[in-house]
Amino acid sequence: MMRRLRVWTWVHLVYLVLPAFQPMFDPAADWRDWALVGVIVVGFLPMYAMSLLRPWQARWWLTVPATVLAVATIHFNAGAAILFVYAAACAGLTETRRTALRWMGFLTALTLLFAVFSTVPMPYRLWNVVPPVVFIWVIGLVQIAEAARLRDHTELRMANARIEHLATVSERERIARDLHDLLGHSLTAVVMRAQLVKELVDLDPVRARAEVLEIERTARDALAEVRATVSGWRQASLEAELDAARGALASAGVELRVDRDPDLTLVGSTEHALALAVREAITNVARHAGARTCHVGVHAVDGELRVVVADDGVGGQGVDGNGLSGMRERIAALGGRVDRIGLAGTTLTIAVPLRVAT
């Protein structure tokens, strides 16, 4: 934060005219009094400049040396008390609130001590003690409030930057998951149909042509969904995914059986997550299961909406891939769970609370 602070602007140096008032209005003043004014002003200017250049080190460039300079000269020129005000303002802006208040109390004590023991005659002594004591606290407290405002502003900017970063990361993860689910399913369907076309091109050209047209349709649909996914507009439908799954599994020689409660009406966001989960599960069946049949059940059981995808393939208990990991993250965000059993074939159970799903 200190690198962003500016202690004061140069216009505030106008108050350095105060030490000149004493020799200006004292008939007994001579060149030595004016020389002392020069020492005060010339000695303070480098402190002020360095505090502007290195505000994070302002205590050692201005607060402490200005206090020392004031103590050394105030007995001969009461106007040097203005340096205590500069020191208080610097402490209020660059120190913690507790430390700044301690500095202000210390500077007030030094000013009052000068009022007792100074050799400066009245009324110059009085006029150069009361205003500094007042302004040590007025300006010091104003600077403390300004420092707090600057800290709050900096923290707010940092918080907004963190929120923006997290939102960007979250959006990238969403797009990555959706693209994996989308392209994994669509490319699997395209590959399987292409393999079928390769076998049919000599045996059954008519069917081969029909499969080529289906490959084209699948590719176009995938392209449209990729664009919608990147834009964040795509909303997957469980019914549409089950229809697409039937065609994809048929290309792999797998029969799909669906058993679904007809009275279930799903919330859009939950249906989207479940549809993508079904897509990933069906893609895995088509790619790896070597199954002959696949059963999908959608039922409300014990306060949960359960989607069960079971096949009679080779099964297995391998480590989750990117697809299953993304599925677990998406379902966990809804307060649900994903269970996988790979003994006699593979059974994947996706469960979310019914209050979230409907």
What confidence tier does 2 reach under pLDDT thresholds 50, 70, 90?
Answer: very low
What confidence tier does 219 reach under pLDDT thresholds 50, 70, 90?
Answer: confident
The whole-chain average pLDDT of the chain stands at: 78
Rounded percentage of the chain residues whose pLDDT exceeds 90: 0
pLDDT tens, residue by residue, 129-187: 778 888 889 888 888 888 888 888 878 777 777 777 666 666 677 666 666 666 666 67
Angle at 169 between CA 222 and CA 277, to 5 degrees: 45
Residue 29 has pLDDT above 70, yes or no: yes
- Biggest CA–CA distance in the chain, Å, is 124
Give the residue-averaged pLDDT of 56-85: 84
DSSP reduced 3-state for 340: strand
pLDDT score of 168: 67
Of 167-176, 224-233, 345-354, least confident by mean pLDDT is 224-233
pLDDT score of 119: 64
pLDDT score of 7: 43
CA-CA distance, 24 to 30, in Å (whole number)?
A: 10
pLDDT score of 4: 41
* Total-model pTM: 0.46
pLDDT score of 6: 46
pLDDT score of 185: 64
Give the residue-averaged pLDDT of 5-17: 66
Would you state the structure tokens that stand for residue 332, as one six-digit string?
């966990």
Angle at 31 between CA 30 and CA 35, to 5 degrees: 130
Residue 121 has pLDDT above 80, yes or no: no
- Distances 281 to 27, 146, 168, 222 between C-alpha atoms, Å: 100, 59, 28, 18
DSSP assignment letter at 319? P
Give the residue-averaged pLDDT of 192-201: 73
All structural domains of the chain: 2-162 (no CATH), 237-246+254-358 (3.30.565.10)
Give the residue-averaged pLDDT of 100-128: 77
Phi then psi dihedrals of residue 280, to 5 deg: -65, -40
pLDDT score of 276: 82
What is the per-residue DSSP string for 17-84?
GGGGHHHHH-TT--HHHHHHHHHHHHHHHHHHHHHHH-GGGHIIIIIHHHHHHHHHHTTT-GGGGHHH
